[in-house]
Structure 1
Amino acid sequence: MNYIKQSIPRDFSQQEELVNNVRNIINNIIENKDEALFQYNIKFDGNNRTDLRVSRAEIEEAYKLVEPSLIQDMEKAADNIRRFAEVQKNSIGAVDHFEVNQGVFLGHKIIPINSCCCYVPGGGYPLYSTALMLAIPAKVAGVKRIAACSPTMKGTEAIHPSTLVAMDIAGVDEIYALGGAHAIAAFSYGTEQIKPVDIIVGPGNQYVAEAKRQCYGQVGIDFVAGPSEVLIISESMGNAEFIAADILAQSEHDVQAKGILVTTDEGLGKQVLREVDNQLATLETQEKARIAWENNGEIILVDTIEEAYEISNEIAPEHLEIHVSDETKAMESLTNYGSLFIGENAAEVFGDYVSGTNHTLPTVRASRYTGGVYVGTFLKTCTYQKIDPSGISSIGQIAYNMAIGEGLYGHANAAKKRLK
């Protein structure tokens, strides 16, 4: 393995300060509730509103401020996301009356989580697509109370109109005008205006991610997300123009975003390096994308495609694109990724917006142990059992013996009473 371009190591020296700052915010929300929310809204967003829940009138007004063509595009994207979520839900089945031993019947039920908060970022861009990606699977799952929140536009009391419209299209029940770590704390512990939820989903900046980490246990979360990332594996047939465009699409998210190419072809790697520079020259978001690419971007040259798959599995990227001749072998070899994009036409941008898969995905190697947000994120698999007298005969003595072996005599007694 050799680097045609290598990233700069990241500096984590400020991590302790971040942890302490977020802890103080959470404690302030727990103690002072709405009053603390008002203070943070003013401090971080210049948002002076005291009625945090967005009214129906505000939502209707937002529709008037969004281009009808964009609303139609959102509705089409929502339809694709919804249809795929419905197929996924139908694939998650209950188990009923499985007789594991004579008279011992087991099963499980698929039960929707009762309430959720969809956190929709609103810092650099109005990420209305995230509202669709989070709330629609929750709706399909059958979540009874779907809340959502997003920071207001800087210096205003209003969430971006396109984000409000997307939340409404997605079926959100309650919308709140706040964001940041204080929003996570509010939906975890509750305030006068905000009733806590059972799970919080959605990406955000480092303060949001740290707040989710610290509040986990009090509330469920999808995962702790870090900077966005894409890894592209390509053999010599890869289209350098497409690859460069996909790397820059990722890089414009954030100065911490990461784009990586792993290739078996040195010529392609160098061509992509030149193409990134060419496209950056005319990219409207080049200021942010250039920093991300220069600091975090990588081009890795490998001897074999199998080595590329090993590197990818170790990195465990959020988005993984493959431009290879044997796609079947690639899919068998690749195991760690948030979402897979197969072939040069399956650009990450389509998954981000409209193809129907979810774009809320695990980052910083979390795809080693979890997938992205989907309808199953909002479902619980809860087991049950029913045992008749013949079941006591088949397993009762075993339970008694094992309890005695562990020294748990109360357990043993409970089994013994039934053995009589």
Structure 2
Amino acid sequence: MATYLKSAPREPEAVDPEVVKIVSDILLDVERGGEAAVRKYSERFDNWAPERFTVPAADLERAGEKIDPQLREHIELAAEQIRSFARTQRQTMTEVEVETLPGIRIGQRHVPVNSVGAYAPGGRYPLVASSLMTTVVPKAAGVKRIVACAPPLDGDGIAPAMLYAMHVGGADQALCIGGAHGLAALAFGIEDIAPVDMIVGAGNVFVAEAKRQLFGKVGIDLLAGPTEILVIADETADPALVASDIVGQLEHGVTSVGWVICTSRRVAEEALGLIDERIHSLPTGKVAREAWESHGEMILCESDEEAAEVADRLAAEHVEVHTAEPRWYLERLTNYGSLFLGDESPVPYGDKGIGTNHVLPTAGAARYTGGLWVGKFLKTLTYQEVTGSGTEQIAPTIVAIAEAERLPGHARSAQDRLDRVRDAV
């Protein structure tokens, strides 16, 4: 039976009703008031009132001139890693056409959505990787128009490194607007930028709530809430690395969640002490400490089987496996956003550019969905083509089912085809 050496005093909060109302008011205001409403909220929340929110095309293309050449190379390498994996994923998605009965052909195609709004949070930290994850992948899927969007950093526009990542990722346009009003601008259009069909990307509680409320008007990837990390460790694990990885993820924000599942009491107790030490040594330690104290847990399990059971129940966004046989967990775990096998595979690798995507399910959503990937931008569309001989095969069945459902119009539509075929004989 699992033992808690440290338990969380409270669960991460559900959506605050006040947040729901604030976001609802913002979205309605922007839908009705357009650019003027966006400008009002931009000034209020970000102290940002540019002449135009659209980043000039020339600035997007020349963004690389404002950053260190070595950083440019790193961004380009990360982009290529993400692009290569997305293209490989795309190759696994096949289109099919099959003749199920003589004269009946049915099939499916994978068609990219036409336009995507790619949101990247950047008001507190300039999250370069988010700008890559949300632009490279839809471009690899074949999306025709990508509008990147991020808030201003320190009242001075989008951070140059983020803007360069947007350009490298394939963004066709860029908007410097943050928060719920930024997503509203993507959904309803602003200046010369037409509304998009889909919005992707992570953000704070207001951004997540805006995505939830905009779903239906636009498509979304998933509702990504506060970040989560779960580390599974056995007696071979290095407690210092366990602590490092937990604390590193908690610095995202005070609502971040960290779990450690250990099958070794020694490793668990050492890691607990080292987590406190690491938090104290970080410039972002105040944030990480509040997150750990409020939402951190250290769980001692008696076996790998029990550890796997607890991990699947938690369904964490990021799951690291620091064990002697990490691939044992690869074969058994079913609920996670992304899995990091072995202690040489920390979460930042996946978060920043190893190739997988970092927009992942949180709050238990990994029980029913995966993260952002090339398939999210592709609509699997079916089609059918029937000849006279096919109608002879299938129409009697359709008529019978429609009549059983008391839908005579449906039955008549099928019967008309069958009558025409028979009359032609």
Secondary structure at the aligned position of 1:281 is classed as helix
CA distance in 2, matches of 1:358, 1:192: 31
Following superposition, the deviation at residue 192 of structure 1 comes to 4.3
Equivalent position of 2:263 in the other structure: 264
Q: How many residues align?
A: 418
Following superposition, the deviation at residue 186 of structure 1 comes to 1.7
Secondary structure at the aligned position of 1:231 is classed as strand
Secondary structure at the aligned position of 1:73 is classed as helix
TM-score normalised to structure 1 length: 0.97
Equivalent position of 1:32 in the other structure: 33
Question: 8 Å contact 1:95–1:107 — kept in the other structure?
Answer: yes
Deviates more, 1:290-299 or 1:55-64: 55-64
Equivalent position of 1:122 in the other structure: 122
1:204 aligned onto 2:203: yes
Equivalent position of 1:43 in the other structure: 44
Following superposition, the deviation at residue 24 of structure 1 comes to 0.4
AA matched with 1:117: G
CA distance in 2, matches of 1:195, 1:151: 19
Question: 8 Å contact 1:38–1:50 — kept in the other structure?
Answer: no
Closer, same or farther in 2 for the Cα pair 1:338/1:403, shift >3 Å? same
Backbone CA RMSD of aligned residues: 1.4
Closer, same or farther in 2 for the Cα pair 1:323/1:385, shift >3 Å? same
Closer, same or farther in 2 for the Cα pair 1:294/1:359, shift >3 Å? same
Q: Deviations over 1:160-185 (max 9, x none)?
A: 11111111111100000101001111
Equivalent position of 2:75 in the other structure: 74
Unaligned runs of 5+ in 2: 420-425
Equivalent position of 1:229 in the other structure: 228
CA distance in 2, matches of 1:194, 1:154: 25
Counting only pairs closer than 5 Å after superposition, residues 338-377 of structure 1 correspond to structure 2 as 338-377=337-376
Closer, same or farther in 2 for the Cα pair 1:112/1:13, shift >3 Å? closer
CA distance in 2, matches of 1:184, 1:328: 40
Question: 8 Å contact 1:396–1:419 — kept in the other structure?
Answer: yes
Equivalent position of 2:91 in the other structure: 90
Deviates more, 1:170-179 or 1:383-392: 383-392
CA distance in 1, matches of 2:408, 2:325: 59
Following superposition, the deviation at residue 298 of structure 1 comes to 0.8
AA matched with 1:109: R
Counting only pairs closer than 5 Å after superposition, residues 315-394 of structure 1 correspond to structure 2 as 315-394=314-393
Following superposition, the deviation at residue 326 of structure 1 comes to 3.5
Q: Deviations over 1:212-255 (max 9, x none)?
A: 00110000000111100011111111111111111011101111
Question: 8 Å contact 1:254–1:292 — kept in the other structure?
Answer: yes
CA distance in 2, matches of 1:251, 1:13: 19
1:417 aligned onto 2:410: no
Following superposition, the deviation at residue 50 of structure 1 comes to 3.1
Question: 8 Å contact 1:47–1:154 — kept in the other structure?
Answer: no
Equivalent position of 1:312 in the other structure: 311
Deviates more, 1:106-115 or 1:301-310: 301-310
Q: Deviations over 1:240-281 (max 9, x none)?
A: 111111101110111111111011111111010011122223
Equivalent position of 1:135 in the other structure: 135
CA distance in 1, matches of 2:239, 2:272: 9
1:155 aligned onto 2:131: no
Question: 8 Å contact 1:198–1:220 — kept in the other structure?
Answer: yes
1:216 aligned onto 2:226: no
Equivalent position of 2:423 in the other structure: none
Following superposition, the deviation at residue 62 of structure 1 comes to 3.5
CA distance in 1, matches of 2:375, 2:12: 35
Equivalent position of 2:17 in the other structure: 16
Following superposition, the deviation at residue 12 of structure 1 comes to 4.0
1:291 aligned onto 2:290: yes
Question: 8 Å contact 1:66–1:161 — kept in the other structure?
Answer: yes
Question: 8 Å contact 2:263–2:303 — kept in the other structure?
Answer: yes
CA distance in 1, matches of 2:344, 2:154: 37
Deviates more, 1:56-65 or 1:315-324: 56-65
Secondary structure at the aligned position of 1:133 is classed as helix
Question: 8 Å contact 2:224–2:361 — kept in the other structure?
Answer: yes
Following superposition, the deviation at residue 130 of structure 1 comes to 0.6
Secondary structure at the aligned position of 1:284 is classed as coil
CA distance in 1, matches of 2:99, 2:198: 34
CA distance in 1, matches of 2:14, 2:71: 42
Question: 8 Å contact 2:136–2:169 — kept in the other structure?
Answer: yes
The sequence identity of aligned pairs, in percent, is 41
Q: Deviations over 1:12-68 (max 9, x none)?
A: 487111111111001100110000011111111111113111013333554232111
Q: Deviations over 1:359-400 (max 9, x none)?
A: 111111111111111111111110011111221122111111
Secondary structure at the aligned position of 2:281 is classed as coil
Closer, same or farther in 2 for the Cα pair 1:107/1:13, shift >3 Å? closer
CA distance in 2, matches of 1:12, 1:238: 32
Following superposition, the deviation at residue 329 of structure 1 comes to 3.1
Closer, same or farther in 2 for the Cα pair 1:392/1:57, shift >3 Å? closer
Following superposition, the deviation at residue 10 of structure 1 comes to 3.7
Question: 8 Å contact 1:94–1:108 — kept in the other structure?
Answer: yes
CA distance in 2, matches of 1:407, 1:102: 28
Unaligned runs of 5+ in 1: none
